[in-house]
Amino acid sequence: MKIQVITLFPEMFTGVWGASMLWKAQDRGIVQYSTIDLRTFGLGSRRTVDDTPYGGGDGMLLKPEPVVAAIEAAKKNDPDALVLLPTPRGKLYKQSDAKRLAAGGKGLIIVCPRYEGYDERITAWVDEQVCIGNYVLTGGELPAMTIIDSVVRLLPGVLGGEHSAEIESFQDDDETVEYPQYTRPVEFRGMKVPEVLQNGHHGEIAKWRKDQ
C-alpha cells in the first residue's frame, strides 16, 4: 500500500515512520511511505501557497492551485489511491474506517491543511473529509499520522499475531475497551495481580476479562 502525504512539514513524519510497527511495515514491504512537500508546488519565486480569504476574516487559506497540483502529482504515482482531507469539518473517523481503508487495499493520499483552512474548491479532488475528534488542531499532520497508524497496524503481516488486532478496543465502534492486563512482578508497591489471572484457569480468566 502506498501512503503519500502532502504537507508543508514533511520532517514531522520522519519520526513516525522511522519507529516501531510503522517502520516494520515498511521494512517488510507492506507499505511505502512518502511525503510531497506542498511548498514545491507554491506559486512564483516565493513559492506562495496561501492567501487571504474572500469576504474577509482572520488568517490565511491554502490556495487551490498548489494543493491540486500536489494531488495530481501524487495520483500519477498511484492513480487508484483514495484522497483524504483531515479537517474538523469532516466525518468523525472511527475504527470501522480504519478497517475499511486497510481492507480496501487502495493507496492513500492525505492532504494536510495548515493556516486557517483551505479554498473549498480543493474538495472536488478529495474522496473523504475526516475529523479525528472534537478538538481543534493546528494542521492536518497529526490527524494524518493518526489515520496512518490506525490503518497500517491492521494490514496483514504488520502485527505479530493477526489475533492482536481482533481482540481489542472499539472493535465495532462501540464503547468497549480492552480488559486490564498485568505482567511481573506479582506484587508492585503493595498492589497485587488479581488472583484469578495467576491460577491459570482459562474459563475463569475469560469470564473475569469479559466482566471487566
- 84 in Cβ contact with 109 (< 8 Å): yes
Cβ partners under 8 Å of residue 4, min gap 6: 33, 34, 35, 36, 74, 77, 78, 81, 107, 108, 109, 110
Question: Shortest distance, CB of residue 88 to ligand 6GU, whole angstroms?
Answer: 4
User: Smaller CB distance to ligand 6GU: residue 3 or 130?
Assistant: 130
User: Smaller CB distance to ligand 6GU: residue 73 or 137?
Assistant: 137
Bridge partner list, 86: 130
Q: Does 122 interact with ligand 6GU (rule: CB under 6 A)?
A: no
- Of 42, 66, 107, 143, which lies in the binding site for ligand 6GU, with binding defined by CB under 6 A? 143
Binding mask 51-90 for ligand 6GU (x = CB under 6 A): -----------------------------------xxx-x
CA atoms within 13 A on the CB side of 2: 16
Q: Does 194 interact with ligand 6GU (rule: CB under 6 A)?
A: no
Q: Does 131 interact with ligand 6GU (rule: CB under 6 A)?
A: yes
AA letter at 212: Q
Here the cell at position 97 is 474506517
Q: Does 140 interact with ligand 6GU (rule: CB under 6 A)?
A: yes
Q: Which stretch binds ligand 6GU (CB under 6 A): 5-13, 18-26, 131-139, 158-166?
A: 131-139
Here the cell at position 163 is 489475533
Q: How far apart are the first and last CA of the chain?
A: 37
- Please tell me whether residue 87 adopts helix, strand or coil conformation: strand
Question: Shortest distance, CB of residue 84 to ligand 6GU, whole angstroms?
Answer: 9
**CA–CA gap between residue 198 and residue 186 (Å, rounded):** 9
Q: Does 133 interact with ligand 6GU (rule: CB under 6 A)?
A: yes
AA letter at 143: P
The C-alpha R_g of the chain, in whole angstroms, comes to: 21
Question: Shortest distance, CB of residue 198 to ligand 6GU, whole angstroms?
Answer: 42
Binding mask 86-105 for ligand 6GU (x = CB under 6 A): xxx-x---------------
User: Smaller CB distance to ligand 6GU: residue 86 or 158?
Assistant: 86
Q: Give the strand pairing for 61-62 and 50-51.
A: antiparallel
Binding positions for ligand 6GU, rule: CB under 6 A = 86-88, 90, 130-133, 135-137, 139-140, 143
